[in-house]
């Protein structure tokens, strides 16, 4: 029955026993470590364990740890987790209602809030549904019925333009934040310290989000609703068009959801939490995942000859001619990676900066310096050096 986004430790003071649990897919961060003296450490950040534990690891999502039983037990056991191929027919109205309910559930708040709006399909749908249902909520009575939206990008980036158009269409109070490549480069060390990973794609996307979160919090906003998780559930990445059959398509979506806690969830949670901002993600609502993952994956397959692009089932569910949620060209906008959408020169700037700090000789010796997950680009090597400086024990744990 556990629901929502959470990590907790529950202590029984009668015998000092305890249980630890993490939410279903790992929206929040959690780690567990063991000291030489037999102690068990729990922390929402690696830096809470790095200096004091002989061994530590990511606390697996959807699990409980009991001090009495001394081990992990999975509490989240949905049907899709076994990767059996589902067969439910696609019903666009059922999918639409499930996602609207997931968004509405996250409007229960007593703090100032808004939505992250990149102008892509996922964040735009979140913003559209929030704008539609905000008026009748307690939050609207407390903070006003006009939704605030936030976007970040380099000057002239695709996301800024698309987000502005969606904001105008929905009538939100839109906040557009600009950053330069140098602003991002200057923040890289802080970003790696807070998000605690050396994964290249995660760092590229986390940096603009980290910079935006600081500015959002400065406005007094304490919670944002975001669009993470859709691409994993619906096979939204462009490589999914290579899926040979529905079975492989479905298994890949299962694998992507199971890995979310290492990538997109980690980015969204830690980039915002670094500034005391909470990010809520309706696409990862348990009930919505159950509905979406029960659909026969044949419907999710990308079929250009039939006019079905990536995430067609989601787009079609919100393609309402009478009461449109979004302009057609936004509803059917092709996916941009977040790190591309904020401005294409962002990644080029990162690569150029890394090349100034990592020599060819360093790359030749990379496998000896970093035998585990050896970096294969100068950008990856640069991030790894920073990570190792902050978390020197992680490779040995």
> In this predicted model, what pLDDT tens digit does every residue of 144-185 receive, in sequence order?
889 999 999 999 998 899 999 999 999 999 999 999 999 999
Mean pLDDT of 347-370: 97
Mean pLDDT of 295-317: 96
Of the candidates 225, 314, 216, 218, the residue with the CA atom closest to the CA atom of residue 268:
225
- Residues present in the chain in total: 397
In the chain, alpha helices (H): 92-105, 121-133, 138-143, 158-170, 181-195, 200-218, 230-234, 246-258, 264-273, 286-293, 312-317, 328-331, 338-341, 345-357, 360-364, 366-369, 378-390
> In this predicted model, what pLDDT tens digit does every residue of 48-100 receive, in sequence order?
998 889 999 999 999 999 999 988 999 999 999 999 999 999 999 999 999 99
Q: Measure the N-to-C terminal CA separation of the chain; round to a whole number of Å.
A: 33
Question: Has residue 318 got a pLDDT over 90?
Answer: yes
Look over the chain and give the mean of its residue pLDDT values, rounded to a whole number.
94
Residue 394 has what pLDDT?
75
Question: Has residue 339 got a pLDDT over 70?
Answer: no
Are 374 and 367 contacting, i.e. CB atoms less than 8 angstroms apart?
yes
- CA dihedral of 250, 252, 258, 261, whole degrees rounded to 10: -130
Mean pLDDT of 213-218: 98
Mean pLDDT of 246-256: 98
Are 339 and 201 contacting, i.e. CB atoms less than 8 angstroms apart?
yes
Q: Which residues contact 244 (CB under 8 A, 6 or more apart)?
A: none
Mapping DSSP to helix (H, G, I), strand (E, B) and coil, where does residue 46 land? helix
Residue 227 has what pLDDT?
97
Model confidence band, residue 397 (pLDDT cutoffs 50, 70, 90)? very low
> In this predicted model, what pLDDT tens digit does every residue of 273-288 receive, in sequence order?
999 999 999 999 999 9
């Amino acid at each position: 029955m556990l629901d929502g986004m959470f990590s907790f430790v529950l202590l029984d003071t009668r015998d000092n026993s305890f249980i630890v649990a993490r939410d279903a897919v790992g929206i929040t961060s959690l780690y567990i470590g063991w000291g030489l003296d037999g102690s068990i450490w729990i922390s929402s950040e690696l830096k809470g364990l790095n200096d004091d534990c002989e061994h530590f690891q990511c606390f697996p999502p959807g699990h409980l740890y009991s001090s009495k039983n001394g081990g992990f037990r999975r509490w989240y056991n949905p049907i899709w987790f076994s990767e059996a191929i589902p067969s439910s027919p696609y019903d666009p109205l059922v999918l639409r209602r499930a996602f609207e309910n997931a968004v509405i559930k996250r409007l229960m708040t007593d703090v100032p809030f808004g939505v992250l709006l990149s102008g892509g399909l996922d964040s735009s749908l979140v913003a559209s549904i929030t704008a539609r249902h905000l008026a009748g909520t307690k939050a609207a009575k407390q903070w006003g019925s006009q939704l605030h939206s936030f976007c970040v990008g380099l000057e002239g980036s695709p996301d800024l333009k698309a987000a502005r158009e969606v904001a105008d269409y929905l009538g939100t109070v839109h906040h557009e934040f600009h950053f330069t490549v140098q602003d991002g480069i200057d923040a890289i060390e802080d970003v790696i310290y807070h998000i605690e990973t050396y994964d290249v794609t995660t760092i590229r996307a986390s940096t603009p989000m980290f910079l935006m979160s600081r500015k959002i919090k400065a406005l007094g906003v304490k919670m944002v609703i975001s669009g993470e998780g859709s691409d994993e559930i619906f096979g939204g990445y462009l490589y999914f068009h290579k899926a040979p059959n529905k079975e492989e398509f479905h298994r890949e979506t299962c694998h992507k959801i199971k890995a979310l806690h290492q990538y997109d969830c980690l980015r969204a949670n830690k980039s915002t939490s670094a500034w005391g901002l909470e990010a809520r993600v309706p696409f990862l609502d348990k009930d919505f995942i159950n509905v979406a993952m029960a659909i026969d994956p044949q419907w999710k397959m990308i079929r250009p000859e039939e006019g079905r692009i990536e995430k067609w089932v989601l787009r079609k569910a919100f393609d309402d001619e009478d009461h449109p949620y979004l302009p057609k060209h936004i509803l059917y906008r092709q996916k941009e990676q977040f790190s591309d959408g904020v401005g294409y020169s962002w990644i080029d700037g990162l690569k150029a900066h890394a090349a100034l700090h990592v020599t060819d000789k360093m790359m030749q010796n990379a496998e000896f310096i970093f035998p585990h997950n050896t970096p294969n680009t100068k950008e990856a090597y640069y991030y790894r050096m920073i990570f190792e400086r902050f978390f020197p024990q992680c490779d040995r744990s």
